[in-house]
Amino acid sequence: MNKVAVVTGSRAEYGLLYWTLKEIEKSPILDLQLYVTGMHLSEKYGMTVEEIENDGFSICEKIDILSDSDDMANSIGLGVIGFAKAFKKTYARYHSYIR
């Protein structure tokens, strides 16, 4: 089974990815790993992560990258740390020898 990691951070690009995600899920040889981040996890932007869940997608990890301030550098730092942790955790699920 080939793993396909997809990252979505806003309603706009989620709409563009929707049918591709559906096709990946239907595939007998692909395993969708959906990472949700950014505006999807913000109440300010409508918590659209719920829309993704209501569409029936299983979310591999939720990675919060938005800070209380609108500081882009801080968000980038949170993203790097968050994705590193999420990818390590996902990898460990498939390879139990990772500590």
43-90 pLDDT per residue, tens: 888 999 999 999 999 999 999 988 777 778 888 898 899 999 998 888
Distance of CA 75 to the CA centre of its chain: 15
Residue 61 lies in a domain: yes
SS (H, E, C) 18-80: HHHHHHHHHCCCEEEEEEEEHHHHCHHHCCCHHHHHHCCCCEEEEECCCCCCCCHHHHHHHHH
CA dist., res. 16 & res. 21, Å (int): 10
Look at the chain and report how many structural domains it folds into.
Answer: 1
22-47 pLDDT, tens per residue?
999 999 999 999 999 999 999 888 99
CATH number of the domain within which 68 lies:
3.40.50.2000
Q: Is residue 99 part of a domain?
A: no
Q: Give domain status of residue 64, yes or no.
A: yes
pLDDT at 22: 97
Check: CB of residue 3 under 8 Å from CB of residue 31: yes
Q: Which domain holds residue 49?
A: 2-94
In a domain, 51, yes or no: yes
pLDDT bracket for residue 98 (50, 70, 90): very low
How far is 76 from 71, CA to CA, in rounded Å?
A: 9
DSSP three-state, residue 1:
coil
Q: What is the pLDDT of residue 72?
A: 84
